[in-house]
Structures are given as structure tokens and as C-alpha cells.
């Protein structure tokens, strides 16, 4: 596992969403740190629950915004959010209730899918919203 903390350089162009992405990444780093420190299941579970709750809130906010601005990619984006959330829940469940607490698959999945999503689909709504007055 890389020892660097995760970060991302891409701003989607809408401040509130950049802030929420920052909190998501911070929470994932917290999880990674918990793994490195060898924290127990209870503490890891608490961070995971927080990550899931925040993810739900963030996806909902984004979808609300896309709807508000009439962004044409909303339906596709929503499907992708549901897919990521379902996979996150599944992966988290394994860590929270599996026989052995294996953090690596979860951390790998989170890092890959969230950064791919932010740098892929999320980057698409920014220009549309900026052109219609969002900042």
C-alpha cells in the first residue's frame, strides 16, 4: 500500500462539490490511517459508517444540483452513483462482519472507484453549471 495520503488535483468547478469531495477523501485517508495503525473493528466501523453516510449525502447533493441545472447526464450519473454506493456497502460489510478484517481490498476499491468517478463523470457537470451561473 502506498504510504502517501490520497489527494486529487481536479476541481469540478463547483465549490460546494469540491468541498464535499475533500471531505470524502479526508475520510478515506482516515480509514487508511486506521488500517496502518492497526485499529480494531469498532473504530474502523465507525469511520466506515461515516464514509457511507457522507457518500449518500454527497451523491444526493450532486443529483439535486444536476436536476436543478437541467444537466443532461443526470440519469447516467445517478446509475453510476447507485453502483458505487452498492459496491461500497458490500465491501464495507465484508470488513465490518467478515471473519477476518481485510482492509486492503476495501481501500483499493475506494481509492480507485471514487477517484475515477470524480475525475471522470463529476468533471462533466462543472462546465454545464458554470455556464449557468454556478461557482
Residues in contact with Fe ion by the rule CB under 5 A: 62, 122
d(CA 66, CA 113): 20
Complex with Fe ion: residue 39 or 123, whichever CB lies closer: 123
CB distance 59 to 85 below 8 Å: yes
Rank residues 32 and 77 by Cβ distance to Fe ion and give the closer one: 77
Nearer to Fe ion among residue 45 and residue 54 (C-beta): 54
CA separation for the pair 15, 29 (Å, rounded): 21
Q: Which is nearer to Fe ion, 32 or 117 (CB)?
A: 117
Contact 110, 28 (CB under 8 A): yes
- In the complex, the smallest distance separating the C-beta of residue 24 from Fe ion, rounded to whole angstroms, is 8
Q: How far is the CB of 54 from Fe ion (least distance, A)?
A: 11
DSSP 7-54: ------S-HHHHHHHHHHHHHHHHHHHHHHHT--HHHHHHHHHHHHHH
Question: Which residue's C-beta sits nearest to Fe ion?
Answer: 122
Taking the complex as a whole, how short is the minimal distance between the CB of residue 49 and Fe ion, in angstroms? 19
Nearest approach, Cβ of residue 12 and Fe ion (Å)? 7
Amino acid at each position: 500500500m502506498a504510504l502517501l495520503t490520497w489527494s486529487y488535483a481536479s476541481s469540478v468547478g463547483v465549490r460546494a462539490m469540491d468541498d464535499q469531495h475533500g471531505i470524502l477523501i479526508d475520510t478515506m485517508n482516515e480509514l487508511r490511517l486506521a488500517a496502518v495503525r492497526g485499529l480494531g473493528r469498532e473504530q474502523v466501523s465507525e469511520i466506515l459508517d461515516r464514509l457511507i453516510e457522507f457518500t449518500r449525502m454527497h451523491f444526493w447533493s450532486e443529483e439535486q444540483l444536476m436536476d436543478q441545472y437541467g444537466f443532461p447526464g443526470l440519469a447516467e450519473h445517478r446509475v453510476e452513483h447507485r453502483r458505487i454506493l452498492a459496491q461500497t456497502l458490500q465491501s464495507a460489510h465484508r470488513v465490518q462482519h467478515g471473519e477476518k478484517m481485510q482492509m486492503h481490498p476495501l481501500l483499493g476499491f475506494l481509492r480507485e472507484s471514487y477517484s475515477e468517478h470524480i475525475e471522470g463523470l463529476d468533471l462533466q457537470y462543472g462546465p454545464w453549471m458554470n455556464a449557468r451561473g454556478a461557482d
